[in-house]
A = this chain, B = another copy of it.
Amino acid sequence: MIAELISVGTELLLGEILDTNAQYLSRQLADLGINLHWRVTVGDNLERCREAFRQAMARSEVVIACGGLGPTPDDLTRQALAAALARPLEHSAAAWAEIQSYFAARGSTPGLHDRAQALVVPGGRTLPNRLGTAPGLYLTAGPTHVFLLPGPPSELTSMFEHQVAPVLSLLPGRAVLRSRRLRLAGMGESRVSQLLEPLLASANPTLAPYAGQGEVQLRITARGQTEQEAGRLVEEMEAQVRAALPGLIYGADGEDLETVTGRLLGAYGLKLAVAESCTGGLLSHRLTNVPGSSAYFLLSVVAYSDQLKTSLLGVPARVLAEHGAVSAEVATCMAEGVRDLARSHLGIGVTGIAGPGGGSTQKPVGLVYLALAGATTRAHRLLLSGGREDVKYRATQRALVELWRLLQAEAVALR
């Protein structure tokens, strides 16, 4: 079962946006055991888009195109597929009714252009769009299954998950492929590779390290005759990896640090509050991305000024004057202050210099102090690289790593 992706959009060819949809779909196909052989990107150009469809349908059994389904005249994907199949587009009353009800639910009515989104390729079935107006499309052309998906990532992922994956998982001829992504905290890719040296040479299952955002991930992929066999190969490799990296693997696949720490906080009935300076709210944002986080997350105070660090968080003016706002002492007072303010079990304080300005020889850009207040308070000094947003992200990543470690070691004692 060979698949091909077609990404449509001049903004991609101009480099204005990154093609995250292609990565998402690639990963999903791999998980389904479907071999992706080609990805092709074309602009909003009828002729080249048609040619991409023609070629893809000739060499691949699953063709997924994304983008170009919107209401404006440069949205040409439907027309291009219709031209490649030599089937003229038809107006679909059902698709139009769905678009109208999408607008009605928002107290609005569709405009003139929105009618174009109700055009379908004959023989195709529209895929309802729960999060936007443009419906998708599914049709078969000879042995080939063709899907058209909308470009906005949230619409694309929702439509893939609910309407495309169920169809693909029923297709015959998929290899039995199982994979698992282990997620590591607190060690770099080069050192991890050294520790795993003998395992990296394995042919089945394969083991590949790669750099995630602020962390290392390890992908295990196994092929087998049956699901059981492939699953067993993955499990055996995972056991060997865990033995080689004790205490470093915090989660697998979609589990990120905020989800894993949130689960631990919830399980132990612990409440958390954070005081942020240089991370500017990002730590709080990440923690609250987890559904249900209101059960354990109480408060974040982002205090950019010294005055508010004192009046709100109770950081003594003397400590600020003596050590400066970027210091282990101030991070400690912030962590303890916000914990006391929120009456939570745990408090985290982060203060540092995110840059690009504000650095000095003594306190360079990237210097961050992080403190966790529980039964006792521990402070960490970090020297982070990258631009302003990198420093912010890496500081929150380290805060979550230290929170995870603390919860593993002390959660029971904190209750």
Contact = CB atoms under 8 A, between A and B. Distances in A.
B42 A291 contact: no
A124 interface: no
Given A193-B71, A387-B154, A23 B28 contact: no
A400 to B, nearest CB: 14
Interface in A267-309: 276, 279-285, 287-289, 291-294, 297-305, 308
A401 to B, nearest CB: 17
Nearest to A48: B37
Contacts of A280: 284-285, 287-289, 293, 300
A386 B157 CA distance: 11
Interface in A1-54: 7, 9-20, 22-30, 36-45, 48
A123 interface: no
Q: 9 shortest A-B CB distances, which residue pairs?
A: A280-B288, A281-B284, A15-B27, A15-B26, A281-B281, A39-B41, A300-B302, A281-B285, A282-B285
Contacts of A179: 14
A205 to B, nearest CB: 13
A301 B179 CA distance: 41
A111 B39 contact: no
A291 B211 CA distance: 27
A55 to B, nearest CB: 9
16 contacts: A10-B208, A11-B210, A17-B23, A19-B22, A38-B48, A39-B40, A72-B190, A72-B208, A73-B201, A106-B383, A111-B194, A293-B304, A298-B305, A299-B303, A300-B301, A301-B301
A10 B291 CA distance: 31
Interface in A126-169: 131-133, 151-152, 154, 158
Interface stretch (A86-94, A228-236, A238-246, A388-396): A388-396
A38 B38 contact: no
Nearest to A102: B385
Interface in A166-212: 179, 181, 189-191, 193-194, 200-201, 208-211
Interface of A: 7, 9-20, 22-30, 36-45, 48, 70-74, 106-107, 110-114, 131-133, 151-152, 154, 158, 179, 181, 189-191, 193-194, 200-201, 208-211, 219, 221, 276, 279-285, 287-289, 291-294, 297-305, 308, 312, 341-342, 354-357, 383, 385-390, 392
Contacts of A301: 299-302
Given A72-B193, A281-B287, 12 more contacts: A15-B28, A18-B18, A70-B189, A74-B208, A113-B193, A131-B386, A280-B293, A281-B281, A291-B357, A298-B308, A299-B301, A299-B305
Contacts of A284: 280-281, 284-285, 302
Contacts of A200: 72-74
A37 B11 contact: no
A13 B26 contact: yes
A32 B276 CA distance: 40
A3 B206 CA distance: 34
A257 B194 CA distance: 45
- Max chain B CB contacts within 10 Å: which of A111, A208, A298? A208
Nearest to A342: B308
A315 to B, nearest CB: 14
A211 to B, nearest CB: 6
A263 to B, nearest CB: 16
Contacts of A355: 291
Contacts of A181: 16
Contact of A281 (B11, B282, B388): B282
B300 A300 contact: yes
A154 B392 CA distance: 13
A165 B311 CA distance: 48
Contacts of A131: 385-387, 390
- Max chain B CB contacts within 10 Å: which of A29, A71, A193, A298? A193
